[in-house]
């Protein structure tokens, strides 16, 4: 049988997962009852955020050829997933929005694909948009590939136009289906490079079954493997044996159990206890290791500790440092871009590819019933250099001035700017830490009409202190229940995060102070009731709605002396030192 192994690359929301849905439907790869939208986004967080987080495998058949498809994350923070996906394929399908054109996260994954020598097939999607400019976007895509150092062969890429949600793709004349896309994959994506010799496979992903144990996924580089046979596992610590308890290939959304699989196919092998990503599985008679997967180093870190607030243990099932450590070690087995360092007893430093990478992990832990506290994110320096991000903003022309001013104060350098139809699109390079807390400010400056996206750019000189937050925190100085009367009296100076009836503790952050300094406030005072009535004493209490912070917004808000308390039901900001008098004493001593 012939194979084609292809990864789909696209920026967030350019229609990648929707196109895969249509490919599966039209090739007959879906079983009855598997209809729907964004079928590959099976992870709850993926559906909620509208992004792909985990690389996933699927497969379909077209004219007797099996096409293995790997759906890759569009966000650079999930670079570990991208590296693994690209190690299994021989070509990439680059999907670009016909209006937006190549975006930052397209750059990141495309650069990785070009460095790996993969041949691109370009699809200009959403050509039915009113603002679509397909020919111009095709030219921009070519320019981007030149900028990223593509070879002459890679620059001579085939291209098609598509409307993914309608399941249509064509080169010259519009077609009612995706048949031209399937034919282009067969014609332009090379078959897998297969070597002669005994079985060899590099583990690119892991899964787990309560019945079959650990499952290793990867592409067979050479030879064949059979169910029931013993194979050699070449791990970091040495060589050992394992038995292939079950063997699966992919078809549609599921796995198909088979007796034998051959070189070029992407397979799943059950019974691989102790196997890790990057290990090589090989025939016992020829235990030769493939190069281990190389993943980019982490750029952002934050500190995670057990929850020590007065409300600790109320909502979580797993609250001890031992339980947290066990869960983090388990995560390390599949999350290759993550590092966990135990810096002190009960204190873990999580190092990842960006704020979103770490925020998704924290949200996952929270939903599993874990309770913990995290500190302010910080960047990791490398030989005295700090990580930089490539930022693209698209804003209304009337709002560009304030955005430019805010980015200037964060030491951003403009690379390119273009104007048209009342909007401005500009590219910047700036320190990664300059983006901490910027998204909320950006949405406020653009009245919600701006779009921003960014990706890792490289390392550069350390630029010294940055002013990323100009406001202080409003901190509760009394424990109790918040009253509308107190909130009303304070709301001119404070934007609150809580509403009347919220239980608070001493040291809990209840809002954002409009000035730079922190402010201790008492939100637990209620109006004294008397039997005396006077004009004006019963004025209506009208409260401004509280500002609801999500996990990422809360992480962005944090100051160095603050923590975010994360539980399955709540997110609370607090000071590290809860007692106001102790905090003042520490400030005087400069601690």
What distance in Å separates the CA atoms of residue 96 and residue 105, rounded to the nearest whole number?
Answer: 11
Q: Is 17 marked as binding a ligand? A: yes
Q: Is 71 marked as binding a ligand? A: no
- Counting Cα atoms < 13 Å in the Cβ hemisphere of 549 gives 26
Closest CA to 367 of 329, 316, 328, 414: 316
What distance in Å separates the CA atoms of residue 535 and residue 376, rounded to the nearest whole number?
Answer: 48
Q: Is 579 marked as binding a ligand? A: no
| C-alpha distance from residue 523 to each of 244, 266, 493, 578 (Å) | 63, 59, 13, 16
Pairing of strands 503-504, 480-481: antiparallel
What distance in Å separates the CA atoms of residue 329 and residue 348, rounded to the nearest whole number?
Answer: 11
What distance in Å separates the CA atoms of residue 473 and residue 146, rounded to the nearest whole number?
Answer: 48
The residue written with tokens 């229609």 in the block is 15
- The full DSSP string for 142-183 is HHHHHHTT--HHHHS--EEEEEGGGTEEESSS--SSSHHHHH
Closest CA to 406 of 355, 458, 494, 470: 470
| C-alpha distance from residue 135 to each of 132, 223, 373, 475, 577 (Å) | 9, 44, 50, 55, 58
Q: Is 227 marked as binding a ligand? A: no
Q: For residue 83, give the DSSP letter.
A: H
Q: Is 520 marked as binding a ligand? A: no
Q: Is 14 marked as binding a ligand? A: yes
Q: Is 128 marked as binding a ligand? A: yes
Residues 6+ apart with CB under 8 A from 369: 316, 317, 318, 568
Helix, coil or strand: residue 553 = helix
Dihedral, CA of residue 496, residue 499, residue 504 and residue 509, to nearest 10: -10
What distance in Å separates the CA atoms of residue 5 and residue 261, rounded to the nearest whole number?
Answer: 15
Q: Is 126 marked as binding a ligand? A: yes
> Where does 447-544 show beta strands of DSSP type E?
451-461, 472-476, 480-481, 494-496, 503-504, 508-513, 519-521
Binding-site positions = 13-18, 125-128
Binding-site positions for GTP = 13-18, 125-128
């Amino acid at each position: 049988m012939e194979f084609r192994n292809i990864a789909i690359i696209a920026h967030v929301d350019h229609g990648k997962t929707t196109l895969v849905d249509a490919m599966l439907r039209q090739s007959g790869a879906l079983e009855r009852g598997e209809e729907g939208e964004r079928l590959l986004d099976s992870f709850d967080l993926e559906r909620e955020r509208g992004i792909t987080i985990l690389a996933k495998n699927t497969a379909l058949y077209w004219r007797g050829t099996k096409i293995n498809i790997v759906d890759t994350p569009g966000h650079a923070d999930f670079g570990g997933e991208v590296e693994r996906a690209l190690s299994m394929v021989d070509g990439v399908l680059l999907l670009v929005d016909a209006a937006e054109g190549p975006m930052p996260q397209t750059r990141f994954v495309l650069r990785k694909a070009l460095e790996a020598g993969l041949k691109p097939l370009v699809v200009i999607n959403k050509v039915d948009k009113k603002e679509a400019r397909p020919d111009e976007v095709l030219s921009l895509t070519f320019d981007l590939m030149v900028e990223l150092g593509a070879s002459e062969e890679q620059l001579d890429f085939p291209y098609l136009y598509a409307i993914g949600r309608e399941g249509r793709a064509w080169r010259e004349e519009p077609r009612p289906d995706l048949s031209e896309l399937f034919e282009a994959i067969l014609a332009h994506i090379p078959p897998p490079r297969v070597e002669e010799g005994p079985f060899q496979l590099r583990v690119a992903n892991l899964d787990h079954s309560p019945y079959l144990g650990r499952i290793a996924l990867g592409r067979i580089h050479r030879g064949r493997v059979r169910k029931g046979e013993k194979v050699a596992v070449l791990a970091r610590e040495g060589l050992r044996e394992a038995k292939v308890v079950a063997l699966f290939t992919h078809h549609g959304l599921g796995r198909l159990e088979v007796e034998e699989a051959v070189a070029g196919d992407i397979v799943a092998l059950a019974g691989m206890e102790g196997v890790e990503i990057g290990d090589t599985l090989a025939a016992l008679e020829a235990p030769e290791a493939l190069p281990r997967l190389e993943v980019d180093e982490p750029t952002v870190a934050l500190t995670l500790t057990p929850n020590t607030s007065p409300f600790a243990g109320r909502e979580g099932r797993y609250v001890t440092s031992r339980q947290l450590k066990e869960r983090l070690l388990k995560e390390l087995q599949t999350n290759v871009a993550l590092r966990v360092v135990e810096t002190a007893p009960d204190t873990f430093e999580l190092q990842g590819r960006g704020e979103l990478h770490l925020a998704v992990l924290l949200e996952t832990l929270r939903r599993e019933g874990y309770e913990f506290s995290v500190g302010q994110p910080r960047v990791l320096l490398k030989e005295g250099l700090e990580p930089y991000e490539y930022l693209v903003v698209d804003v209304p022309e009337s709002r560009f001035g304030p955005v430019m001013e805010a980015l200037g104060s964060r030491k951003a350098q403009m690379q390119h700017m273009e104007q048209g139809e009342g909007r401005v699109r500009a590219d910047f390079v700036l320190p990664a830490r300059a983006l901490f807390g910027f998204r909320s400010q950006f949405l406020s400056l653009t009245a919600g009409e701006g779009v921003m996206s960014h990706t890792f750019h490289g390392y550069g000189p350390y630029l010294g202190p940055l002013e990323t937050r100009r406001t202080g925190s409003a901190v509760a100085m009394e424990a109790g229940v918040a009253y509308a009367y107190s909130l009303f009296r304070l709301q001119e100076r404070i934007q609150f995060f809580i509403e009347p009836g919220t239980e608070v503790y001493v040291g809990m952050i209840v809002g954002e102070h409009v000035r730079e300094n922190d402010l201790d406030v008492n939100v637990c005072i209620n109006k004294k009731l008397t039997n005396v009535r006077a004009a004006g004493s019963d004025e209506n209490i009208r409260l401004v709605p509280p500002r609801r912070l999500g996990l990422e917004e809360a992480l962005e808000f944090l100051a160095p002396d603050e923590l975010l308390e994360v539980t399955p039901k709540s997110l609370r900001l607090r000071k590290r030192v809860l007692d106001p008098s102790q905090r003042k004493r520490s400030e005087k001593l400069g601690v």
